[in-house]
Amino acid sequence: MLKRISLLAILFALSIAITTGRATAQVPSAHKFFGSATLDGASAADGTRVEAQINGVAVAASVVSGGQYVLTVEETTYTSYAGKKVTFTVGGYPANESATFTAFKIESLALTAIKGVAGQLQSITGKYRSVWTFDAVTQKWKAYSPSLPIASDLTRLTVGDGYLIDMAEPATLVTSAFTKQLLKGWNFIGWLGP
């Protein structure tokens, strides 16, 4: 009788240990994204790379087909992305959209990216003459002119840098990060993105 109780006690303890082990094991999860991908307002070409990043590190990638992308961000046994911000690039250019990683979610997310000054300033197209900035590293002025893009050496506005914009007429600059009223003549702005 004592052997039977001891054997039952051992089996009971073993079943608790096994059950507890299963309950606490981490199961990697995933978050799937799909939707359209555009560059400068047009559908991204077939084969354009779309990448998802967390903390600046690529965690998933796919390519555009028919203007659409599908990609899955997957955790591993050793990583947890729960609640982390997921950013995207389209063709290597930062997308305006981002998301928060949510386990086992399938999310429709249209991605829009702008590749250059003209795209970044598309809300004031035709209303400005030039954009200037001073490069502290090279100690030289850089400029962009929509009427002379071939002669322009300013190719992209960078978050945190300051710019002089020569407006031909008043207009409102609208981006996903900020809105700014610009007056006719010279306007100094700090670029907040994207």
What is the 3 state secondary structure string of 114-163? CCCHHHHCHHHCCCEEEEEEEECCCCEEEEECCCCHHHCCCCCCCCCCEE
Last residue of a domain, one of 92, 113, 134: 113
Give the type of residue at 132.
W
CA 142 and chain centroid, separation: 27
Question: Is residue 16 in a domain?
Answer: no
Q: Are 137 and 97 in contact (CB under 8 A)?
A: no
One domain, residues 128 and 141: yes
Q: Identify which has the larger pLDDT, 117 or 20.
A: 117
Domain that holds residue 170: 117-189
Query: 41 pLDDT band (50/70/90 cuts)?
Result: confident
Task: State what percent of residues in the chain have pLDDT above 70.
Answer: 87
**91 and 153, same domain (yes or no):** no
Q: Which residues contact 58 (CB under 8 A, 6 or more apart)?
A: 51, 52
pLDDT band at 161; cut points 50, 70, 90: very high
Q: How many CB atoms lie within 10 A of CB 149?
A: 12
Same domain for 171 and 97, yes or no, is: no
Inside any domain, residue 22? no
Does 194 fall in a domain? no
Q: For residues 119 and 169, which has the higher predicted lDDT (pLDDT)?
A: 169
Q: Same structural domain for residues 100 and 133?
A: no
Q: Is the pLDDT of residue 50 over 90?
A: yes
| Domain presence at residue 100 | yes
**More confident: 106 or 176:** 106
Sorted by sequence, the CB contacts under 8 Å of residue 41 that are 6+ apart come out as: 112, 119, 122
- Residue 52's CATH number: 2.60.40.1120
Domain-embedded: residue 88: yes
Answer yes or no: is 8 within a domain: no
143, 68: one domain: no
- The verdict on 104 and 38 lying in the same domain is yes
Across 4-18, 55-69, 109-123, the highest mean pLDDT is recorded for: 55-69
Which of 50, 80, 113 is at the close of a domain?
A: 113
| 45 & 75 share domain | yes
Residue 50 lies in a domain: yes
User: Are residue 36 and residue 107 in the same domain, yes or no?
Assistant: yes
Q: In this model, does residue 191 exceed pLDDT 90? A: yes
- Return the DSSP state at 169: S
DSSP 25-53: S----EEEEEEEEEETTEEPPTT-EEEEE
Please state, rounded to an integer, the average pLDDT across all residues of the chain.
87
- State how many domains the chain has: 2
Domain presence at residue 52: yes
pLDDT band at 21 (very low <50, low <70, confident <90, very high): very low
- Considering the domain architecture, whether residues 105 and 123 belong to the same structural domain is answered as no
| pLDDT given at position 7 | 52
pLDDT tens column, 57-92: 999 999 999 999 999 999 988 889 999 999 998 988
Total residues belonging to the chain: 194
Q: What are phi and psi of 172, to 5 degrees?
A: -110, 120
Residues 36 and 90 in one domain: yes
**Lowest mean pLDDT segment, chosen from 40-44, 129-133, 179-183:** 40-44
What does the alpha-carbon distance between residue 116 and residue 184 come to, in Å, rounded to a whole number?
23
